Amino acid sequence: MKIGILPCQGTSNTGVMTTKAAMHFVGKDDVGMVCPLGLPLGIEGIIKQALSNDAHIALNGCPIKCASKALQSIGVTDFDEMTLTSDFNIQKNKDFSDETGLFEVIEALGKTISNIQANQH
């Protein structure tokens, strides 16, 4: 079961934290990361890599949900998603070093990965 995480990688504390949270899991247990921007831009190799995953998790820094929209832009509609502002009550700001709430995001992401892997069997 290959899982692709899409961090929105936005220019805010919450956007940056999507990447920080993903980094805790990529490279282990068939969990990888997808460049979300490559999908709506139509970058063939990135789309191919994304579609090679069996499941996806979109990590959005805010309700604009760029990571989820990137997946939808290539026709992927069945995926898990998290939004750091609304799901974890984290205030979005421009302090890129602000990691308030990051632990909770990592914990929830780990549970989502485990659930996906458990449902596979």
Q: Whole-angstrom Cα distance, residue 69 to residue 92?
A: 19
Residue with nearest beta carbon to ligand SF4 = 10
Choose the stretch contacting ligand SF4; rule: CB under 6 A; options: 4-12, 27-35, 41-49, 93-101.
4-12
Quote the strand ranges of the chain, DSSP E: 3-7, 31-33, 55-60, 80-83
Question: What strands, in cross-sheet order, belong to the sheet with 31-33?
Answer: 31-33, 3-7, 55-60, 80-83
- DSSP-derived secondary structure letter, 65: -
Q: C-beta of 33: minimal distance to ligand SF4 in Å? A: 15
Site for ligand SF4 in 33-92 (CB under 6 A): 60-62, 64-66
Q: Whole-angstrom Cα distance, residue 8 to residue 35?
A: 9
Q: C-beta of 30: minimal distance to ligand SF4 in Å? A: 25
Among 5, 14, 58, 116, binds ligand SF4 (CB under 6 A): 14
Q: Which residues bind ligand SF4 (CB under 6 A)?
A: 8, 10, 12, 14-15, 60-62, 64-66
